[in-house]
Amino acid sequence: MVRTEISLFMPNVPGELGKFTTLLSAEGINIDALTIQDASAYVRQLFQARGKSLKRIASVASYNSMRKDSADFALIRILVDQTDKAIDLLSQNDYIFDIMPVIALRLENRPGEMAKIAAKFGEEGVNINYVYGSVSSADDTCLFVFCPEDIELASKIFSK
């Protein structure tokens, strides 16, 4: 199923995640999935991607400076149950964020389920940029979020 992921940058300091999640909680917005990484890894990916395109996005020196500055920030990717409300809330509170369509799938929590999904992406020629997931218990389903390069094709594959 196609869902909207919110990606945001926040200072990588104690208390910021608590502040952010309290803001969502106070408005009754539930977090369905979340992943956090040091933003410098994201900047490093941008630098590596620049060589794959025909245009030069920035110089090596610019990327080195961005990578150094970005270590002070975290990149958070999140799915919530009330996306529009969360977007409004983030805008009102001056968060820097972006939205992106992703594929969110509920999988059985047993060996081989991820292998089937990953193989299906591969068979259809769809590259996965990143994936994250969660498991509640051994008896529950897992929610996995996939960011494919081709969202339209991926949504057709998993619409069944």
Q: pLDDT at position 65, please? A: 54
Q: How far apart are CA 91 and CA 38, in angstroms?
A: 22
The CATH code of the domain that includes 85 is 3.30.2130.10
Q: How far apart are CA 91 and CA 77, in angstroms?
A: 16
Q: pLDDT at position 63, please? A: 46
**Model pTM score:** 0.78
Cβ atoms of 117 and 128 closer than 8 Å = no
pLDDT along the chain (160 residues), means of 10: 93 91 97 86 58 51 53 87 97 92 92 93 94 81 92 86
What total of structural domains would you count in the chain? 1
Q: pLDDT at position 139, please? A: 76
Q: Which domain holds residue 85?
A: 2-157
